[in-house]
Structures are given as structure tokens and as C-alpha cells.
Amino acid sequence: MSLSLDDVKRAASLARLEIGDAESQRILDQLSGVFELIAKMESVDTDGIEPMAHAQDMMARLRQDVVTESDKHELFQSIAPAVDADLYLVPKVIE
């Protein structure tokens, strides 16, 4: 499977990255080399092999559904780019 310029642009759009036409072409060239490395995966038959999602085959640990954290919104919002009245500010979404 070889990568196309449209693939790069589509991935950029999904990833919320702004990439110009010239940069897209350069990225395509570099990623094509990376996907040549990745293509090596096709050389091996993996039918019947269980995917390994995690280094230790363990179940995710569960905890009691109780409050463990105290309210720290002032601390956390003190490092936010824009806050007003305890709310994070973003550009207007609904007119």
C-alpha cells in the first residue's frame, strides 16, 4: 500500500494539523520511506495470532466508584490560556 498526497491531507485534517501543499509533498516523501519500513509486516503470516495490546497480559484494574480527588479547579485553571468565571474560554461555536 503506497501513500498518496490525499492520504496525507486527510490525516492532517483528522489530526487538526494545518499543512500547506508544499509541506504535504515533503511529508509524503518522508512518510513513504517510513511506510517502506512498515511494509515489512506484510512478509509474515499472522493468521491465528492474538493481537497483543499490552506488555503484560492483564485486565485493567478497577476501583470503587468513590470520590478520590478534591476540587482543584482554581489551581488547574490558573495555567489555562483563557478563563472567565471558572469557565475555559474558546471562540464562539453557536451564533
Partner 1 sequence: MIESSLKELSRNLAEKEISSVELTRAYLDRIASRIATVNALITVDPDTSLAQAQAADERIARGEAQPLTGIPIAHKDLWCAKGWRTTCGSRMLENFVSPYDAHVIERFNNEGAVILGKTNMDEFAMGSSNENSYFGCARNPWNTDRVTGGSSGGSAAAVAAALAPAATGTDTGGSIRQPAALCGVSGLKPTYGRVSRYGMIAFASSLDQGGPMARNAEDLALLLDVMVGFDARDSTSLERPAEAFTRLLDEPLSGLRIGLPKEYFGEGMSTEVRSTVEAGLAEYRKLGATTVDIELPASDLSIAAYYVIAPAEASSNLSRYDGVRYGFRAEEYDDLLDMYCKTRSQGFGTEVKRRILIGTYVLSHGYYDAYYLKAQRIRRLIAQDFTKAFEHCDMIMSPTSPTTAFEIGAKTADPAQMYLSDIYTIAANLAGLPGMSIPCGFDAAGLPVGLQIIGNYFCEAKMLNVAHRYQQHTDWHLKRSPVASS
- Give the one residue of 2, 21, 22, 53 binding partner 1; rule: CB under 8 A: 53
In which residue are the cell numbers 509541506 written? 23
d(CA 37, CA 42): 10
Residue 73 engages partner 1 in binding (rule: CB under 8 A): no
Site residues (vs partner 1, CB under 8 A): 1, 3, 7-8, 10-12, 14-19, 27, 30-31, 33-34, 36-41, 43-44, 46, 49-56, 58, 60-61, 63, 72, 75-76, 78-82, 88, 90-93
